[in-house]
Amino acid sequence: MEKLIITAAICGAEVTKDHNPAVPYTVEEIVREAKSAYDAGASVIHLHVREDDGTPTQSKDRFQVCVEAILKECPDVIVQPSTGGAVGMTDLERLQSTEIVPAPEFATLDCGTLNFGGDEIFINTDNTIFNFAKIMKERGIKPELEVFDKGMIDIAMKAHKKGLLVEPLHFDFVLGVQMTATVRDLVFMVGSIPAGSTWTVSGIGRHEFEMAAVAIIMGGHVRVGFEDNLYLEKGVLAKNNGELVEKVVKLAKLLGREIATPAEARKILSISK
């Protein structure tokens, strides 16, 4: 079985210090959280950025500063900027994260419109998805296809048929938002992607470590971090992202999976630095 790639989603766009005081806003805090995850065993840092007051931003300049600062402390880590941004941002705003120099080697591509809860709707039309895929291909960026239900896999495959995605494909199954997070759901999603694809699972909230354990057994990969879950266990806030990564490393050891280094992750994902 392949070594396990651990992605750390260190801050997201929705959680705040009111939820957990360790949620990072400033460049220094983002670097601190990235390094805590990297030191614990994460080979990929999934990155949103904030203004110093916590306001989500897709500013190219802010991404440039944050990515450079992370790589100064963790030179070989894979930094994966989000092109999702936050609810309400325009496509042009969201794409700024792919404009940094050098271009990212890896970035997320959301593959459908999503009900985020209450009145929040994260809009991704087919044309938005196809355009993002086209631009990422032109810039030599490997997309992580973020899918929240089976229909989003189908939309990703439409993009593939148009020649906008290059195999092998890599998917991130985000479960516990629009689709429930059960073993049945994960097995169904894994069975719905093309042979030869790689995949990661992101279990949201209390589902994080249950889904991580199933992914480890099934041969997939795992995402954890403050964007998805703020707790180490019920009622216990994680002190940093590194604690969440450490818990996955312990699970992997118990279940017989070795942890991939960034270099090994690049090989598994078919990306090059």
Q: What is the pLDDT of residues 177-216, one digit of tens each?
A: 999 999 999 999 999 999 999 999 999 999 999 999 999 9
ω into 102 cis (within 30 of 0): yes
Helix (H) or strand (E) holding 266: helix 262-269
Quick check: is 1 in a domain? no
Residue 41 has pLDDT above 70, yes or no: yes
The answer to whether the beta carbons of residues 24 and 30 sit under 8 Å apart is: yes
Q: Percent of the chain having pLDDT more than 70?
A: 100
Quick check: is 31 in a domain? yes
Q: What is the pLDDT of residues 223-242, one digit of tens each?
A: 999 999 999 999 999 999 99
- Helices 241-255, 27-40: inter-axial angle, 10-degree rounding: 10
Residue 52 has a CB neighbour count (10 Å cut-off) of 11
Lowest mean pLDDT among 18-22, 27-31, 90-94: 90-94
Residue 24 has pLDDT above 90, yes or no: yes
pTM of the shown model: 0.97
Amino acid 88: pLDDT: 86
| CA separation for the pair 251, 268 (Å, rounded) | 21
The answer to whether the beta carbons of residues 77 and 70 sit under 8 Å apart is: yes
Alpha-carbon distances, residue 123 vs 94, 116, 127, 161, 198 (angstroms): 12, 10, 11, 22, 25
Please report, in angstroms and rounded to a whole number, the separation of the first and last CA atoms in the chain.
Answer: 24
One-letter-per-residue 3-state SS of 121-174:
EECCCHHHHHHHHHHHHHCCCEEEEEECCHHHHHHHHHHHHCCCCCCCCEEEEE
Mean pLDDT of 119-148: 96
Residue 117 has pLDDT above 90, yes or no: no
User: Across all residues in the chain, what is the average pLDDT?
Assistant: 97
Amino acid 273: pLDDT: 61
CATH classification at residue 242: 3.20.20.70
Quick check: is 190 in a domain? yes
Q: Which residues partner with 94 through β-bridges?
A: none
The answer to whether the beta carbons of residues 222 and 200 sit under 8 Å apart is: yes
Count of domains in the chain? 1
Domain around 226 = 6-269
Q: What is the pLDDT of residues 93-104, one digit of tens each?
A: 999 999 999 999
Quick check: is 11 in a domain? yes
Quick check: is 116 in a domain? yes
